[in-house]
Amino acid sequence: MKVLVDVKPTPEQLKLFVPDPQTMIIKGAAGSGKTTTCLLRLRIVLGRMSGLKKRSGDSTPVKAHVFTYNRTLMGYVNQLAESQRRHFANADVQISTFGEWAYRMLRVRNNQICEEWKEQYLSAGFAKFPHDDAFLASELEYVLGRFPHNQIHEYLDLERTGRGKAPRFDRAQREKFIKEIIEPYFAAKQSNDELDFHDLAYAISNLPAPQKYDVIVIDEGQDFSANELRAVKNVLNEEHSLTIVIDSAQKIYPKSFTWKEVGIRATPENVFVLKENFRNTREIAAFIAPIIKGADLGGDFGALPAPENCTRSGPKPIVLEGLYNQQLDWAFKNIVSKIDLQNESVAFLHPKGWFRDVKARLNAESIQYVNLTKLKAWPDNNVNVGLITMHSSKGLEFDHVIIIGLNQSMTPHGKDDGDVFLDHYRRLIAMSCGRARDTLTVGYKPIEKSSLVDYFDPRTYSKVVL
């Protein structure tokens, strides 16, 4: 699968390496080179830390860790990093997701994690609330990710940053939520001697003498929770370098917070912005902009895509209206069969990862493909057709992106403006469209179309009625 392998700093990226604060926050728009910036930043700080160790008579290698958003992106970053291993000669560099790292750090076994009974247990408590289960489960993830377990009651009065305008959840409801859901859930975990993933971050943030790191780089940091950042801060040496790269327009999970509450100072001296979009064409960026405009980006992380910051032009995105099989036929006839699959990549994206018909068509036409969802190692072959969920596509890029079957059942949300799930899907769709370098094709069935289609600006695409 095609991957960007020659990491050369752009003039905009070079500006990041003149100052060298201990903590650097990099805000980047889609396509601005955030992942390559992570690796460039890693190269710079490894050299600096190695020099500091030598001058102090310390012969141990620089200990560094790069955190990625998910396993698919981890495989992609690993492949990118391979081309730079010569720069890591005197360094112990590991790349993983936070979850995998936390498992190893705490030596947790899979059977200690309570995910098997968690959903069924919580649904009984959720029945005591007028809200639907999906919202309450999302609220629980938000609370457990943002607040230290011994400070949960701060949730009562603080602004619910990043949780949208609806549904409303006032102080009385939050108090009931703590009493009826959170406290019994904590007790059940303790009784069963089990953990959940939030416990891992909380435990590491409170380790008295953890294994320490000299350098940590976090890619897609907008989807780190506050407690995960607290854990990272606890494992840094006194002399260290921490780099966090973010883009809240691509935020997927409800994990918003402010830098101040996790003990990170964000000032003009250590916050830098990457504006230029080297991936998308102006036309693709123009299509994305209205989808995300006005959505809650949360906390200190807000950033919107700007077509004027793109460096290339191309055809307008295509929006297909018709039956699913018609959408599929059009995509194969006009995209898949016409591109050079030896040198160009194409990805089919779907919210749920439902690719039965796409696979059948690819097999029928003897076209090789790879399922990229949660793949830990990036495919080292010439297969340039990928199938991937929208969530797993974060941080990746493809020459051509095809999103068909965009129906309402794939993007369920509340009816109120500012609904937390509506904002979630707006960010998800915008992020997914932003994976495209050259062409973008989106399709839906008229009578079942997702309400997200209403955010498409007709001036930014060419419509094809099938």
Using the predicted structure, report yes or no on whether residue 391 has a pLDDT greater than 60: yes
Q: How confident is the model at residue 252 (pLDDT cuts 50, 70, 90)?
A: very low
**Whether pTM exceeds 0.75:** yes
- 277 burial level (CB within 10 Å; 0-12, 13-18, 19+): buried
Q: Identify the pLDDT of residue 417.
A: 65
> Is there a contact between 397 and 243 (Cβ–Cβ < 8 Å)?
no
Q: How far apart are CA 234 and CA 69, in angstroms?
A: 20
Q: How far apart are CA 217 and CA 212, in angstroms?
A: 14
- Of 76-90, 176-190, 413-427, 445-459, the range with the lowest mean pLDDT is 76-90
Q: Is the dihedral of CA 120, 126, 127, 133 positive or negative?
A: negative
Residue partners of 402: CB distance under 8 A and separation at least 6 = 331, 335, 346, 347, 348, 349, 441
The share of the chain scoring above pLDDT 70, in percent, equals 83
| 160: its two tokens | 């619910």
Q: How far apart are CA 416 and CA 173, in angstroms?
A: 19
Mean pLDDT of the chain: 84
Residue partners of 17: CB distance under 8 A and separation at least 6 = 9, 40, 41, 44
Q: How far apart are CA 220 and CA 216, in angstroms?
A: 13
Q: How far apart are CA 106 and CA 133, in angstroms?
A: 31
Per-residue b or e along 239-260, where b marks 16 or more CB atoms closer than 10 Å to that residue's CB: ebbbbbbbbbbbbbbbbbbbbe
Of residues 119 and 439, more confidently modeled? 439
Query: Domains along the chain?
Result: 11-107+200-275 (3.40.50.300), 114-194 (no CATH), 279-465 (3.40.50.300)
Using the predicted structure, report yes or no on whether residue 271 has a pLDDT greater than 80: yes
Q: How far apart are CA 246 and CA 259, in angstroms?
A: 12
Averaged pLDDT for residues 234-238? 93
> Is there a contact between 96 and 397 (Cβ–Cβ < 8 Å)?
no
Q: Identify the pLDDT of residue 421.
A: 80
Q: How confident is the model at residue 293 (pLDDT cuts 50, 70, 90)?
A: confident
Strand, coil or helix: what is 185? helix
Which range, 43-52, 109-118, 198-207, 302-311, is most confident? 198-207
Residue partners of 208: CB distance under 8 A and separation at least 6 = none
pLDDT 10s digits, 120-162? 788 888 888 888 888 888 899 899 999 999 999 999 988 776 6
Q: How far apart are CA 436 and CA 402, in angstroms?
A: 9
Cα(first)–Cα(last) distance of the chain, in Å?
Answer: 31
Q: Identify the pLDDT of residue 381.
A: 65
Short-list 102, 101, 98, 90, CA closest to 45? 90
| Beta strands at 385-389 and 346-350: parallel, antiparallel or unpaired | parallel
Q: Identify the pLDDT of residue 408.
A: 87
Can you name the residues that pair with 166 across neighbouring β-strands?
419
At 379, the amino acid letter reads P
Q: How far apart are CA 130 and CA 232, in angstroms?
A: 37
Q: How far apart are CA 287 and CA 461, in angstroms?
A: 7
Using the predicted structure, report yes or no on whether residue 7 has a pLDDT greater than 70: no
Strand, coil or helix: what is 106? helix
Which strand (E) or helix (H) includes residue 107?
Answer: none
pLDDT 10s digits, 419-438? 778 888 888 899 899 999 99
Strand, coil or helix: what is 321? strand
